[in-house]
Structure 1
């Protein structure tokens, strides 16, 4: 993967069926991924859960494992309010020194984190970005208007990822990259070049 142009690997993200693993299995898979990567490529751990205490526990057990950050999905099934989402992610961020990337995928979770909530969370020091998987391209500018320039905005929807990048997004955390890593990396480069040419990239 590192030779393909991929920037990082997410271990036990939602495509990795995190919701089906026990706590110990989850931790073990991430630690094994770090071991096998052997420093050749950064590893991000999926540590999201629908219970705040479980997300904090997973993050705590992995924060010194060699990962560079965590990806935390919105609580699924519970359908929390926007204030509930804010308090959930705030509690996770305050429990760790790790950089945290938010993850919004309402088609899977039944819960949509709105741009205004992302903007509030972006003010927390170690919340550094979001994987935005609504497929709604208007979210790119809506979020960018509410966050600082260094806030990382990546797509979680392969079908719209190129357009997402051209509108000013920074990349994609991709399902397709599991089987076509080089091609997805090239697509990201193409999107960045087009964004520069059209003035979408600062």
Structure 2
């Protein structure tokens, strides 16, 4: 179903805060040309937390139009209100999307039974496949592997994006879940090892800036060429660190702006531009990698 390098796509914006649809189309076409295997639209990196629902839905629709069916598009549908997540899912199902990515509810810290009820309700709302997303560093609540195993029994719940960075969790999941349940890494620093251990793909922030590297690494890992995958990943290992020295998506937006891929690095408040020291670090790395002159 879903395999390889999926970019957690940024949502470019103009200095007045409007969505920059010109840059958005350029990004989608660049990713397709660069070998990115799929796009996650309006997830955390796409600033889902600060896009009103109508804008969220519109951006997903635009990305589907720009992709023209050339790569799968997975729509971020997470919310800490189950009713809101269901409404969002139903509205976006009108587009030719290929599935949903739904994050563990944030702030309200649901129990494991609450997570099960939440995700089962979302999965029942449409016929499209849903991937679960566990990122306790942002949500505080941590979805246990036992909980994932219960949810995996639902026919519309097909996979997990694990952003814990804990590879023991991956090994645990491989033992507890059926082989056809998809396991994607959401942590770029450990994504290569995740893939080499048998992961199905990555949903990557680094892929925003280095799409060809990420797609190549995933293809090598999926083909069993572990040594080459490690070498490919090592070329951009510094990016995996630098893109997170400030809260995501601050740094990937700044990097894309300096690369000339988006027209402005504007972020919705409460996110702001990176500190000058952070700007300098990422710019020096981009220069060394030949991504800026």
Give the drift of 1:144.
Answer: 1.6
Q: Distance in 2 between matches of 1:108 and 1:194?
A: 33
- Please show how residues 35-50 of structure 1 align to structure 2 within 5 Å: 35-50=65-80
Q: Distance in 2 between matches of 1:108 and 1:80?
A: 14
Does 2:176 align with 1:146?
yes
- Please show how residues 10-21 of structure 1 align to structure 2 within 5 Å: 10-21=40-51
4+ runs deviating over 2 angstroms: 189-192
Q: Distance in 1 between matches of 2:175 and 2:123?
A: 22
Consecutive unaligned residues of structure 1, counting only runs of 5 or more, are 197-202
What does the per-residue CA deviation read over 1:167-192, in whole Å, with 9 as the maximum and x for residues that have no partner? 11111000010111000111212333
Q: Distance in 1 between matches of 2:149 and 2:45?
A: 26
| Shift in CA distance, 85/195, structure 1 to aligned 2, threshold 3 Å | farther
* Counterpart for residue 81 of structure 1: 111
* Counterpart for residue 59 of structure 1: 89
What does the per-residue CA deviation read over 1:55-114, in whole Å, with 9 as the maximum and x for residues that have no partner? 000000011211000000010111111111111000000111010000000001111100
* Counterpart for residue 69 of structure 1: 99
Q: Distance in 2 between matches of 1:122 and 1:165?
A: 20
- For the pair shown, the structure with the greater C-alpha radius of gyration is 2
Q: Is the 1:140–1:168 contact (alpha carbons within 8 Å) kept by the matching residues of 2? A: no
| Shift in CA distance, 194/139, structure 1 to aligned 2, threshold 3 Å | farther
Q: Distance in 2 between matches of 1:24 and 1:124?
A: 29
| Shift in CA distance, 186/154, structure 1 to aligned 2, threshold 3 Å | same
Give the drift of 1:23.
Answer: 0.7
SS at match of 1:45: strand
- Please show how residues 1-202 of structure 1 align to structure 2 within 5 Å: 1-192=31-222, 193-194=224-225
Q: Is the 1:122–1:128 contact (alpha carbons within 8 Å) kept by the matching residues of 2? A: yes
Give the drift of 1:5.
Answer: 2.1
Q: Is the 1:167–1:195 contact (alpha carbons within 8 Å) kept by the matching residues of 2? A: no
Question: TM-score scaled by structure 1?
Answer: 0.94
With a CA cutoff of 8 Å and minimum separation of 6, indicate the structure with the bigger relative contact order.
Answer: 2
Question: TM-score scaled by structure 2?
Answer: 0.65
Give the drift of 1:194.
Answer: 4.0
Q: Distance in 1 between matches of 2:38 and 2:81?
A: 26
SS at match of 2:110: coil
Q: Distance in 1 between matches of 2:169 and 2:148?
A: 11
Q: After superposing the two structures, state which structure 1 stretch, 97-106 or 164-173, moved more.
A: 164-173
Consecutive unaligned residues of structure 2, counting only runs of 5 or more, are 1-30, 228-293
**How well do the aligned residues superpose, as a CA RMSD in angstroms?**
1.5
SS at match of 2:204: coil
Q: After superposing the two structures, state which structure 1 stretch, 20-29 or 138-147, moved more.
A: 138-147
